[in-house]
A = this chain, B = another copy of it.
Amino acid sequence: MKKHFKKLVGPLVSIFFLLNMTSTGYAETTVSAEVGFIFNTLLFLICGFLVMFMAAGFAMLEAGSVTSKSVSVICAKNIGLFSIAGIMFWMVGYNLAYGIPEGGYIGSFTPWSDSSAVDTGYSDGSDWYFQMVFCATTVSIVSGTLAERIKLWPFFLFAAILSGIIYPIVMGWQWGGGWLATAGFSDFAGSTLVHSTGGAAALAGAIVLGPRLGRFTKSGSPAPLKPFAASSIPLITIGIFILWLGWFGFNGGSQLAMGTADDAIAVSTIFLNTFLAGAGGVMAAALVTRLGFGKTDVIQMLNGCIGGLVAITAEPLMPSPHAAILIGGVGGVIVVFGTKLLFSMKIDDVVGAVPAHLFAGIWGTLAVPITNPDTVFSTQLLGVASINVFVFVVAYIVWTIMKATIGIRLSKEGETKGTDVTETGVIAYAIRD
């Protein structure tokens, strides 16, 4: 089986040579093939439902981050994009990624069909489910950045293109055994493949779409200006906790196997490092905002968590706990300063997805060689550059074509009224005393 071969081979080799001190001592596995099949499938299903739930996390993070006149539509976008991404990934995405020839560039345009068999070692359907939720995550990243001024259905169209074509192509390059895998690139659970892809597509959209009306007329303080204040901090908070929970599935499931004691140890190590990197991101953002700017910025702490988690995603298995905290901490710092950078460039990223997913994803992927001796910096740079440039350019072209044809931006009047009134006619909060 070609599938996942890079992801599987790399870590297994690493475990043998580097984590030998934490190996179980089982000379060879005593788990029967069928029991292993069930364990592997169970890992995909459990980690899959955790990642699926990240869709709720993104929905809450974004609903809390937009102003209260765009909350209903961001909810519609999140449930809609998740549905669209799943259908597209079944119709075309999965085989576009995994049907790729070894070392190749693109797979086949055919729907996924079940081909479970003894020698695959896991249920094919469970793998589809697990990979599908990764695809949906990529699209979730985009919706927040473009909130409050993009039209609903053009956004859905872009969601279909990203989930059905753009993401599967870059996924195939690496996880399908395409040219980047052959080149030796390593991205364990998708700092670049998933998170930077989402972030780069969002950045392209933000540039083509332009900022919200009035966002940059005042001199640019990075603090949430009153007219653009986040509608609900507790919704952002529960969103982040859900994302953190889901990330255990995201990274843990990317071990792709739970049928041996060594795999079980690896998944545990991944859980541990994923937790510590998120914690590092939170506290780094807390310290930087408190010491650098006077107040402890809760939004940056929450987004710093994402930055830390994205950073560890490229290599959650090899780092020591110390290293995981540091890698995550740098991710948190990147979020704080990346947010300022975008603001200074007058690029309007409503939820801070570009710093958290694109910038921290670049950092995490480039940092892999620090802890994984099987990788080299130049190849990591090649992977980061090729994927980000490809996604950004393609997304930019798609956004531009859509802008020139069907239009992607609400009318001034519609934006001023708010997307909720204009597009869904349902106000988000109806609170009476």
- Could you tell me how many residues of chain A have their Cβ less than 8 Å away from some Cβ of chain B? 126
Q: Does A400 contact B (CB under 8 A)?
A: no
Give 8 new A-B contacts, CB below 8 A, not counting A23-B116, A53-B241, A118-B261.
A38-B39, A38-B264, A41-B261, A45-B271, A59-B234, A90-B321, A124-B268, A229-B430
Interface string of A229-241 (1 = CB under 8 A from B): 1111111111011
Candidate in A117, A263, A298 with the most chain B CB atoms within 10 angstroms: A298
Q: Could you say which residues of chain B place their CB within 8 Å of the CB of A244?
A: 52
How close is A116's CB to chain B, nearest CB, in angstroms?
A: 5
Q: What's the minimum C-beta distance from A362 to chain B, rounded to whole angstroms?
A: 23
- Which residues from chain B contact A76 at a C-beta distance below 8 Å? 286, 296, 298, 301
Any chain B CB within 8 A of the CB of A30?
yes
Selecting from A80-88, A164-172, A337-345, A375-383, the interface stretch reads: A80-88
Contact indicator per residue, chain A 66-103, by CB within 8 Å of chain B (1) or not (0): 01110111011011101110110010000000000000
- Residues on A facing B (Cβ under 8 Å): 21-26, 29-35, 37-39, 41-42, 44-46, 48-50, 52-53, 55-56, 59-60, 63-64, 67-69, 71-73, 75-76, 78-80, 82-84, 86-87, 90, 111-112, 114-118, 123-126, 128-129, 132, 152-153, 223-224, 226, 229-238, 240-242, 244-245, 248, 252, 258-261, 263-265, 267-269, 271-272, 275-276, 278-280, 282-283, 286, 290, 295-299, 301-302, 305, 321, 325, 423-432
